[in-house]
Structure 1
Amino acid sequence: MEQFIKSKLLKADLKEIDQQLSENGFKNMSSMLLVKQALLTVSNLVDFEVTIREVYKEHRVLSEKYRAFEKNYKFAKYLRNKFIGHIKQELIQKSIEWKPELRYLLKDSDESNTIFAFNLFVLETAINTYVNPDGSHQLFDSETDLIYPPDMKRFLTYLSETVKSAIDYLHDLGQALGKNIEMLDPSEQKLEHWMAAGKTKFEFIKK
């Protein structure tokens, strides 16, 4: 049941993000937060997938769906680890080197458009650090400049395809997990569940 609920939470987040970005585009801090949340949620899917592989024994197509976009998902997790869930000092240092514009925007750093640019430049730097030991890019075929329209389009296409594929995967995963769960009738509620709830003791959730 826990895995089923988690799959639904992840899918709901991605569906809402996909809808909002599709309707409003990527142009300000509100949309930047949606992009960050999309990458965070996809990276959570990467962690979640490791825990549900037992279901692949009866649903091989699910495994194939995940593998088809695994590179995209791992890239999202990289961005989560370096820029979103954690903001690595090394990334900021590299951003200042890569985007000298940052030095000239410091006085206006509280302005919405400026902080959007800060985020865009650091995101761009994080994308460009996703390289192999020989310096070749792991996902895209060249350096990314998000101010350059074709590069921005390439990134947004990546994001859209990644989010939509994850939604599709989570939909099918939810169906597979749901087959082994008793779906209770709301009109026939059992007192024992409320009695158990009344005995709940909350404890700090450890990592």
Structure 2
Amino acid sequence: MKELEKTKRISIASVLFILVIIIGLLAYKRPKHLYSENTISTLEKISTNEYFVTLNDINTPDNVLVDIRNQFEYEKGHLENAINIYAPEILTDENSEIFEKLKTDNKTIILYGNTPSDVVSPYMILYQLGIDNIKILSSEITYFENNLISKDVAIEKYQNDVNAFIQESIKKAAIEVKPKPDIVKTPKKIIPIKKKKKMPVEGGC
């Protein structure tokens, strides 16, 4: 009787386990965004400075300007024909479709913000997701008496090889710290000091 109960419990547990697996497989959804590039390769691309463009290079039919600032700043003033896609919202379904369509149409996406450094994070995210038809506008956006002023800024040329720097860091991290040699302390020699005897006081009453 006990063996029958034990067998019954094992059977029920097995059926429940299989049901959980089936439900899990049916409920599984492929992630919407899958990275096709890693951070290292993306940094290497940026470090070449080939992905920066100036204001003189943007006025061609194949370029699409994307202002990554918020709607208030965009409406206050933006570059001509630029569309507004706020940086924290670049991965929404609607915006993802826009980027994919621009890639399909062989358009070059030029991202810009108040400064080039504002655009680095959105650029890296999009590039790692496979949107490789993007560049960064090396310009600075300011306002004077509510009028938008845009001017080119110099981008520092990276002299160091990013990959070499990463490999060197890995090597340094792999080197084991050498243990410090044990310092043998020699016991101190204690020399006893002899107390001087007090001389008796001469004279008397």
Larger radius of gyration: 2
Higher relative contact order (CA 8 A, sep 6+): 1
> Higher strand share goes to which structure?
2
TM-score scaled by structure 1? 0.24
User: Which protein has the bigger helix share?
Assistant: 1
TM-score (norm 2): 0.24
